[in-house]
């Protein structure tokens, strides 16, 4: 879990999933899973 502030420019690496439905009302058009912070610019 990384802490970045609004306005920070960062690069994350992970798996991009489209139209992911976790159930119970949690639906995401685009989500990055298993992300890690690569670089904070």
Distance CA 38, CA 41 (A): 10
The residues spanned by each domain of the chain are 10-40
> CA angle, 36 as apex, 38 and 26 as ends, to 5°?
140
Whether the predicted pLDDT of 39 surpasses 80: yes
pLDDT tens for 1-13 read: 778 899 999 999 9
Whether the predicted pLDDT of 36 surpasses 80: yes
Mean pLDDT of the chain: 94
Both structure tokens of 22: 């976790």
Is pTM beyond 0.95? Reply is no
């Amino acid at each position: 879990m990384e802490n970045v502030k609004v306005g920070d420019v960062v690069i994350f690496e992970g798996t991009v999933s489209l139209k992911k439905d976790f159930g119970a009302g949690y639906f995401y058009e685009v989500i990055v899973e298993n992300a890690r912070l690569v670089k904070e610019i």
